Chains A and B, each alone.
Chain A
């Protein structure tokens, strides 16, 4: 299977952007949509719970996917002289850092 020459740029930038955008979406609750599992209903944007809990996780991932995908596509259009210097290690450094951030953000669950 042949992949475009810019795919490694897309993959690295996507991993970085997805991680950063995702943690921002979780912290600020930027969900593209809300799912109400008790009533099997979807609603656009962030909605309050009704007749049961509201789930934002799917919406956070949708927002992250759209934003990270757009950022990664834009990065593919950058001149090769710039993208050639992109270090592939960013694809794991940033996600690992964000995992640590989540451990910190969720510390209250473990310190009660």
Chain B
């Protein structure tokens, strides 16, 4: 059961990672001319269209992560502590706190990405997007590494 939820959590995280990365790059490194390359096309997406999807994906991914976390606490974390893998536990601690802080900025993120976009809030919009992008990337990589440490299905 938890393995299925973990896989769904991972798949949702991939979708969220793609969406937030598209949006963050299109905000921080916008394409100035018609894109010809893969990276150029990646940056030239309409960033506003991602706002609602990112909020929903973040909430659902966090909810599933919270469910899976209960199993992790019993099955994985105890073992990591017994093996003195403190850095590994530390990066997971940061993951849980960063995920929680990301939840707190979601209302502001959602509001500042509503159309029509207000020019005076461009910096706020960009930084909130960068924060969420950082949180999503951190949590994705840490979750992936931790899964590798303990081993699938072990």
Contacts and interface: CB of A to CB of B under 8 A. Distances in A.
Contacts of A99: 97-98, 101
A77 to B, nearest CB: 17
Contacts of B107: 7, 10-11, 14-15
Interface residues of A, number: 39
Interface string A1-16: 0010001101110110
A91 B100 contact: no
A109 B71 contact: no
Given A3-B114, A19-B101, A37 B108 contact: no
A77 B143 CA distance: 41
Contacts, number: 103
Interface string B85-129: 011011101101110110111011011101000000101100110
Contacts of A109: 86-87, 89-91, 93
List 8 A-B pairs, minimum CB-CB distance, nearest first.
A109-B90, A18-B104, A91-B108, A11-B108, A37-B70, A11-B107, A88-B124, A92-B127
